[in-house]
Amino acid sequence: MNELMARLSAYDWGGDRGSLKDIDNLIVAAQGDPGKLSELELALLEVLQSELRLPAKEYICRQLALLGTARCVPVLAGMLTDPELSDRARFALEAIPDASVDDALRSALANAEGVLRVGIVNTLGERRDAKAVPLLTELQKSADGVLARAAAAALRKIAPPA
């Protein structure tokens, strides 16, 4: 595992995608084994919080979309307000079926700005987060047309018109 994570830590633009296939395969093989999945999640989270180039962070987010649990939500939520990482974090968060994701997304709305905020609104809509309705209803009135339209679209997904 350590050697694999070292390979991942060195991954950069132009890096050998084949060198990460062993991690892909470990994740596939761990299905149905909560212990192994948890071990992988922890290892990926540890690398994610180290000094990394963007492709490595993106790779980890893609894997967390597959195996992430509530455990990785705080780390991913911390990336939501980072212009370079916000979309990557949502890629993982949008797929993780845990209510803590919705809580984190709603909390992040207050701190995120511009297009990052729109992205969070979109993810709340895709997750059909009913608790977000009051927030989205307010955002629907925003003077920022892109944000207002995104909020309206999210509300239509959460509560489609009859």
Contact positions toward other proteins, by CB under 8 A? Answer: 11-19, 21, 25, 28-29, 31, 55, 58-59, 62, 65-67, 86-88, 90-91, 93-97, 115-116, 118-119, 122-123, 125-126, 146, 149-150, 153-154
Tokens 């509300």 appear where? Answer: 155
- Helices 99-109 and 114-126, axial angle in degrees (round to 10): 150
CA 102 to chain centre: 11
Tell me the one-letter amino acid at 25: N
Output 45 or 149, the one with its CB closest to other proteins.
149
Q: Shortest distance, CB of residue 121 to other proteins, whole angstroms?
A: 8
List phi, psi (to 5°) of 30: -80, -10
Q: Shortest distance, CB of residue 43 to other proteins, whole angstroms?
A: 18
The residue ranges of DSSP E strands in the chain, in sequence order, are: none
Output 103 or 126, the one with its CB closest to other proteins.
126
Tokens 């608790």 appear where? Answer: 131
Q: Shortest distance, CB of residue 61 to other proteins, whole angstroms?
A: 9
Output 75 or 90, the one with its CB closest to other proteins.
90
Q: Shortest distance, CB of residue 62 to other proteins, whole angstroms?
A: 6
Output 30 or 45, the one with its CB closest to other proteins.
30
Tokens coding 68: 């992430």
Q: How far apart are CA 30 and CA 115, in angstroms?
A: 36
Output 35 or 97, the one with its CB closest to other proteins.
97
Q: How far apart are CA 140 and CA 125, in angstroms?
A: 13
Q: Shortest distance, CB of residue 111 to other proteins, whole angstroms?
A: 15
